[in-house]
Structures are given as C-alpha cells and as structure tokens.
Amino acid sequence: MARNIVGIILAGGQSSRFGSPKAFVKKDNIPFYQYSWQAIKPFVSSTLIITNPLLEALFAKDNVPIKMVNDHNLYQGQGPLAGIYTAMDVLIAEWYMIVPVDVPFVEQWIFEWLITFIAEDVVAIIPVVNGKNEPLLSLYHYSLKKEIKKQLDKGERSMHQLLADKKVIYVPIEEEKPFTNINRQEDYQRFIQNKD
C-alpha cells in the first residue's frame, strides 16, 4: 500500500443545535467547509466529504470540487466513527487526516505538526488542547478499520473507547483558537459576528 494520506471532512451531522447546516455558514464570506478543506489540502493525496443526502445536494449546488460520500448504509447517523469508517471503506490509504466542518479558525500548521509524529505501530495522532483530547482534528491509521466496524456493529460510538488500549501519540498544543467549535448560534455571534 502506497504511503499516502486521505483527507476526511466530516459533514454528516444534522446541525440541530445550530439550526442550519454549519458547513455553509460563512466567516469573512467564506463557507466553513472551505476552511476545513484548506487546512488539510497541502498534506493529502485526495479528500472526501462524508455527508448525508440532504447536505450532498447543497454541496453539489455550491459546485464543490471534492468527492462526496454518504455515510455507509449500515451506520448512517452514527456519528464521526461512522464517517471515518465510510472513508476507509471508500478510499484505501495508510493514514486519514480528519477535520470537521465547524472549526472555521482551523490552521494548516496543526496538521503539518501532527504528521511529524507518524511512526511505526502508531494507530492515531491526537492533539491535546488544555488537557482536552481533540479526536476530530487528528490522524488515524487504516489498521483501525476493523476495530471501528466492530464497535459500530455493537452500536458503540466512543472514540475514546476505540483508542483506549492502542498505541496513540497525544500531542500537546497550547493554542486553543484553531480548535474552536461553532456548535450554536451563540458561538457564531461570540466568535465570528462580534470578533475584535
């Protein structure tokens, strides 16, 4: 298997807390998903947007030049692990670089730093910001695919559980802003509309 990295943009959520699809909300007139894409683009051989049928139509309308895939039929609506499994099932690579669509302050240097930790037998590289793991802005090895499927078949969605007994490198990062999630309208008003 060639050593390459596939980018995964997780855009399958319902955005129920936000009230409208977060992927298309704008910061400085640029949709959120574009920030996610630009952050990983220099480091990946190809990119997949993992989404749902409703959002797929919106991405198509936006002429997004990235391959779109709906969550695997068996695991639709089962969260980020289902999205990661789907990507691994669609495109085989050695590593998968994960980024969600609701982090409009995300920056390339994070992923540039994380890939320096790729090593033999390591299955995941996870940033730790202020003591909090950030499993959705991370790198995952293809060898986790069977384990993810096993968990999903049991209805277990915990990323913490997936990585509990595996060789994972946790990378401390001090800067918090790139990891800011925009989950609710209040977050959008606080971080984007009322920015300094």
How far is Cα 136 from Cα 125, in angstroms, rounded to an integer?
A: 11
Q: Which of 80, 134, 84, 79 is nearest to 106 (CA)?
A: 134
Sequence letter at residue 124: A
pTM across the whole model: 0.91
Q: What is the pLDDT of residue 3?
A: 52
Q: Cα–Cα–Cα angle for 148, 33, 8, nearest 5°?
A: 25
pLDDT in tens, 4-43: 899 999 997 665 666 677 888 889 999 999 999 999 999 9
Assess contact for 5 and 42: CB atoms under 8 A: no
Instruction: Please tell us whether the domain made up of 5-193 is placed in CATH 3.90.550.10.
Output: yes
Where exactly are the structural domains of the chain?
5-193
What are the pLDDT digits (tens) for 54-67?
Answer: 888 888 887 888 99
Supply the pLDDT for residue 113: 96
Q: Yes or no: say if 111 and 43 are a contact pair by the CB < 8 Å rule.
A: yes
Instruction: Say what the pLDDT of residue 1 is.
Output: 35
Cα(20)–Cα(83) distance, integer angstroms: 20
How confident is the model over 159-174, as pLDDT tens digits?
Answer: 999 999 999 999 999 9
